[in-house]
Structure 1
Amino acid sequence: MADPTLAADIDAICRLTGEFTLRSGQVADTYFDKYLFEADPSLLDRVATQMVALLPPDTELLGGLEMGGIPIATMVSAKTGMSALFVRKQAKEYGTCKLAEGPDIAGRRVTLIEDVITTGGAVRDATQALRAAGAVVETVVCAIDRSPAGENPLADVDLEVRSVLTRAQLDAAQG
Structure 2
Amino acid sequence: MAPPRNADAPLAGRLAFYNAVPSVVWSGLSWGPLTVFCYQHMARPWLYGLLGVSVLAYVVPRAWFRYWQLSKSPAVYRRLGVPWVNRLAQHGAAVNALIRRRYPQYRRVRGRPSVAALVGSSYHMERFHVAALLVFLWAGAYAAARGYWGWTGLLTVLNIGYNLYPIWLQQYLRLRLAASAGKPLG
Q: Could you state the TM-score of these two structures normalised by the residue count of structure 2?
A: 0.25
Larger RCO (CA within 8 A; separation ≥ 6): 2
More helix by share: 2
